[in-house]
Homo-oligomer: A and B are copies of this chain.
Amino acid sequence: MYIILVYLISAVDLMDLLKQKIIAEGEVYEGNILKVDSFLNHQIDCVFLQKIAEEFHRLFKDEGVNKVLTIEASGIAIGALVAREFECPLVFAKKSKTKNNDGNVLTSEVESFTHGVTNNVLVSKKYISKDDKILIVDDFLAMGNALKGLIDIVNQSGAELAGCGIVIEKGYQHGGDALRAQGIKVESLAIVESMNHETGEIVFRD
């Protein structure tokens, strides 16, 4: 009981700390762009990210996860630390402008909100199979397009999806809510409910 309480308090502390970091270091731009290049997307605070990895392990440790899946590039750091916690491999999906029809890869189309382009997302059939139970992790969830592409690939492979662990969700773009409505376990450590690029104000979902 005491241990559970300590865990819960730590989790709340971590989520508060994440929100404080987003407010202190995040940059809000027109078009609902949130940049957190100082600790997540260009420079990565690996001590802090390790705490986040431990929290994802706590949230998904009873799901039988044997593989972590993410997408290049900025999902790889959190993916590596989470996979290390689960003592299992990380697979990162590759982005490609061109389709690959050689039959050895699973592929799905992903539209990027940030960059306004469509990428093909590829995972070799060698590294995901029907025997796997997959935890998807990513740094951001907005419209949910990247996540939908990864879930599509998991479904094509016949593997089971344990759920999705996200560092920052943009709640007002409702990608996470749509996935939760389908019964998918989506755990986001901070959910931004609204942002104002003129004042820089960031409001979080409770």
Binding site for B on A (CB under 8 A): 37-39, 42-47, 49-50, 72-74, 76-81, 83-84, 87-92, 94, 123-124, 126-127
| Of B49, B50, B87, B94, the contact of A47 (CB 8 Å cutoff) | B87
> When chains A and B are docked, how far (Å) is the Cα of A105 from the Cα of B37?
13
A49 and chain B: residue at smallest CB distance: B80
Bound complex: CA of A126 vs CA of B94, how far in Å?
28
- Taking a contact as CB atoms under 8 Å apart, the answer to whether A83 and B37 are in contact is no
Q: How far is the CB of A33 from chain B (nearest CB, A)?
A: 16
The smallest C-beta distance from A65 to any residue of chain B, in angstroms, reads 13
11 interchain pairs, CB-CB under 8 A: A38-B126, A42-B127, A44-B80, A44-B83, A46-B80, A46-B83, A76-B76, A77-B77, A77-B79, A77-B92, A81-B81
A81's partner among B43, B73, B80 (CB-CB below 8 A) is B80
| A81–chain B nearest beta-carbon distance, Å | 6
